[in-house]
Chains A and B, each alone.
Chain A
Amino acid sequence: MRFEGSFRINADRDKVWEFISNPSNVIQCVPGVQDFSVQEGKRIAAKVKVKIGFISGLFQAASKVLEEDPQNYHARMELSGSGAGSGFKALVDLKLEEADGGTELKWSADVSISGPLGSLAKSMVEGYVKKMVDQLFDCVKRRLEG
């Protein structure tokens, strides 16, 4: 499944880059995070509570940075995790662009879901991912703009 979208943040591009390239800033904005730790190489291990349809559970998730290009404000990372008898893996691409004095954050993600969660209707999973991403970037926005 591929997801993509963009957000506008009313803050300077360097400030946004500095914020999002610190993994502990971003992870705190992930809805449902119960616990996390930042390890070497910006690897994050976190516990995230997930509820999609009738399946709910605590997911153990990890993210690692695959590529970081501060000159071009571009980063690629891999998210993976498991819980509730299911697993997921996502390749996420982030890019910041200047836009009218603010910053446009463009993102895309290729997500594969295994196990019972993966057998749920696509629209159900899509709805959940969209909600989660909205909440995540709302939080990022609030913290940067506020």
Chain B
Amino acid sequence: MAGKFVGKPIPPQDAFLKATGTAPYNYDIELPGMLYAKLVTSTVPHGRIKRINVEEALKVPGVVKVVTGKDIPYMVGMYAGDRDLLAIEKVRWVGHPVAAVIAESLEAAERAAELVDVEYEELPAVFDPLEAMKPGAPLIHEHMEKYRRLPVFKPVPGTNIANKFRVVRGDVETALKEADIVIEEEFHIKHVSHAFMETQNVIAHWHLDGTIEIWTSWQNPNPVRQIMAESFGIPYNKIIVKIPFVGGGFGGKAGLGWEALVAVLSREAGHRPVKLVLSRKEQFTSGACREGFHAFVKAGFKKDGRFIAYDVKYVLDAGGYADYTVNVGRAVAYSADGSYEIPNIRCEAYTVYTNKVPTTALRGFGYSESHWVLEQVIERAAKKLGMDSAEVRRINLIKPGVSITATGERLREDVGNPRKVLESILQEIGWGKPSEKPKEPWKIRAKGVALLVKGPAQPPKAPSSAAIKFNEDGTINLLVSTGNFGQGTVTALAQIVAEEFGVPLESVRVDWIRDTHSAPYSWQTVGSRGLFTDGIAVLNAVKDAKRQIFKVASEALRCPEEYLELVNGEVRVKGKPWMKIPLKDIVMGYSYPDGTSIGGPIIGRGVYMSVHTTNLDPETGQGHPTIFHTYGGTGVEIELDLLTGEIKVLKAVQAFDIGRVINPLLLKQQFHGGFIMGMSIALFEEIKFDERGWVLNPNFTSYYVARIKDVPPVVEKFVETPQADGPYGARGVGELTMIGVAPAIANAIFNAIGVKLNNLPMTPEEVWKAIKAQRPDLIEKAVKEYQKKMKEVKAVA
């Protein structure tokens, strides 16, 4: 169905404010009487706090209070519940907040924070999760059994394992014995930053009557409220969370933030509002990042290309706190099989504490890690089998309506068409056709492909709701708590409403501010679920509002409801377009010529509830973890400089089966943005730690993020296999667009020269070292070519 708005390339509703620099972000907000907080952070990776001397800090003019962990001994969290507001007794990483100074100005707070004197008794520290898992390793959380965690997570008290999760299906041992070839490898990924433009920042005001007002740069207001209410035992309606424009989230603003801390600081400072803004350095050293990752794999294939056994152990380096990373450890395991049907599978995932910066969700969490491994395994197997890797993918791809996933879920008929995704990438990238020869003979060009699938990693019960409120002139306020941090979901939701009521798009407004007090509940805006879950809630709200409107119109027009239709903002009698009432004359109630009125203000409400998802079996991980599966993939053509190890992406193809395109412009932006982020993480990004756990590159001069010069042309391929229960058939896609990039690049290099790149990021140094170790002949040849060329150049000169 081609709509008036649905399916059209409509710019995001907030684009004008953003482009003119006038959009109000949390960072810009100042409240009357506001104080400023500055954190004092640990300088040792693991230690007991012997004493904290705040005397000198309190002497700084303007300082109101210095708060330490002892003053506010609360534990908070969403999943693992393992986080203190400020270190209580013990610090667990360099950067762990130990105290907070509250002052009349940021300058005074900063000056005083430098004067807080903390004495530590250092404890043995552990930085490598594999070491941390060994018996006798220093214990980072001695009493994790006492934490108030979600019951699905299984810590192992007495160790550093914050969560252990398994997915088991079939008989992997026997299948490995029956396999014709076995691929055995290790893969590793370094820590990366979310690198959002707006660092985490919070304003909290604990009012005298106990109402807590929060302004924060977060993805969705409801989890913020939930964490505070559950941790402090405060009624939910006493906490009001407001979120204005957000300068990027990427999962790093989804779990536990600073709101609970700043709220308590406000109370401690005499109930005045307090603002905390993390500097970029603090974001790197005290905020959370994506975990470090290790995978140990055995994969068995038959001669004909069938993938019959997959045995994989994942170890996640969670850092000092693992509140959200325990969930990453689940997602990485239940996504291990990707787009393929693998009959025998065993995945074990361990989320492990270390004395490093804590970690959390990052765009596509778990799935990025599992696909980095899986998609390279396919490529390696194809080479060993002497087959085209595209053919190995075709042979093993899931079949809608038939295949069963690693968690035992039989995939629906309308799950999507991964086959079409694969073929469209292969065609666009010119699979099987050689690349053009580069001018410099020491460079090579190559093509690589990776497929992927993802659904939202969420608990089985994760509802959404929406309300549609009409104004006197017939314009509409759409009330949702869908996060708006750059994806543009709310524009798509507004398109749906405008389409359904036949009103101009400008008539539908979604407020800038997400607010727990006035917006209907939605669980979270994460996992690429916003358009799907909140879109269904919006459609149900539309249905509810229409029902009310038709009831009034039916009476006013003296016509049964089934003969009415809504066209161009008017209720009309079908086939008699002159018999009509404009919406504005109904939505506040309809008045007859004599003044008597019927109906009343229209408010439509709608909900979404996940009905297919279940808990996963604690022993085998069997069940239905996600509400949809979006299949997709990335193809790249790269150029590799054999002299320097530098990889340049020349062209990229992104293809996803999004079910139904609601807004091709926004979709295109996601395809491009996701590619850039995926490429940046693939080639450049790494948080570097020294041997005592200090972050060596806590800024954007030494932590390189892709610049526009690094970005190749990106071709978008939209595959549309509608999902019966999706809004207009749509599925989510936001995070997915970065997941396939890294394995596609690594596969291109493996295809061309057989060099395995098992570690992310693929920096020139890493790549060069891998070539030197695996194919030194290529470097020797490249050097000769280079010398020859230089001689020619000199001769000409």
Contacts and interface: CB of A to CB of B under 8 A. Distances in A.
Given A45-B56, A114-B691, A119-B696, 12 more contacts: A35-B56, A60-B114, A60-B117, A62-B119, A83-B114, A85-B285, A85-B695, A87-B694, A114-B694, A115-B694, A118-B690, A118-B694
19 contacts: A35-B56, A37-B56, A58-B114, A60-B114, A60-B115, A85-B694, A85-B695, A87-B43, A87-B44, A114-B691, A114-B692, A114-B694, A115-B694, A115-B695, A116-B697, A116-B698, A118-B690, A118-B696, A119-B696
Nearest to B116: A60
A53 B232 CA distance: 47
Range of interface residues on chain A? 20 to 34
A60 to B, nearest CB: 6
The 8 closest A-B pairs by CB, nearest first: A115-B694, A82-B43, A114-B694, A114-B692, A45-B117, A87-B43, A119-B696, A116-B696
Interface in A77-134: 80-83, 85-87, 112, 114-116, 118-119
B328 interface: no
Contacts of A35: 56, 115
B388 to A, nearest CB: 45
Contacts of A86: 694
Interface string A28-63: 000000010101000101010000000000101010
B53 A45 contact: yes
Contacts, number: 53
B246 to A, nearest CB: 26
Contacts of A114: 94, 690-694
A71 B274 CA distance: 55
B65 interface: no
B419 interface: no
Interface of A: 35, 37, 39, 43, 45, 47, 58, 60, 62, 80-83, 85-87, 112, 114-116, 118-119
A119 to B, nearest CB: 5
Nearest to A46: B117
Interface of B: 43-44, 53, 56, 94, 114-115, 117, 119, 281, 285, 690-698, 702
Contacts of B696: 115-116, 118-119
A80 B94 CA distance: 14
Nearest to B42: A82
A27 B58 CA distance: 23
B117 A85 contact: no
A92 to B, nearest CB: 17
Nearest to A112: B692
A37 B43 CA distance: 20
B113 to A, nearest CB: 10
Contacts of A87: 43-44, 94, 692, 694
A118 B697 CA distance: 12
Nearest to B95: A85
B115 A85 contact: no
Interface centre among A45, A58, A115 (most CB of B within 10 A): A115
A86 B690 CA distance: 10
Contacts of B94: 87, 114-115
B115 A47 contact: yes
B698 A62 contact: no
A114 B44 CA distance: 10
A85 B690 contact: no
A86 B359 CA distance: 21
B114 A85 contact: no
B53 A39 contact: yes
Contacts of B115: 35, 47, 60
A83 B115 CA distance: 11
B688 to A, nearest CB: 8
- Which interface residue of A80, A81, A85 has the most chain B CB atoms within 10 A? A85
A23 to B, nearest CB: 15
A57 to B, nearest CB: 9
A9 to B, nearest CB: 31
A143 B694 CA distance: 38
Contacts of A119: 690, 696
A114 B698 CA distance: 13
A54 B77 CA distance: 39
Nearest to A58: B114
Nearest to B44: A87
A68 B696 CA distance: 36
A47 B115 CA distance: 8
Nearest to A36: B56
Contacts of A45: 53, 56, 117
A62 B115 CA distance: 12
Given A37-B56, A114-B694, A115-B696, A62 B114 contact: no
A85 B281 contact: yes
Contacts of A80: 43
Contacts of A81: 43
A44 to B, nearest CB: 10
B747 to A, nearest CB: 33
Contacts of A85: 281, 285, 694-695, 698
Contacts of A39: 53
A102 B296 CA distance: 66
A62 B695 CA distance: 22
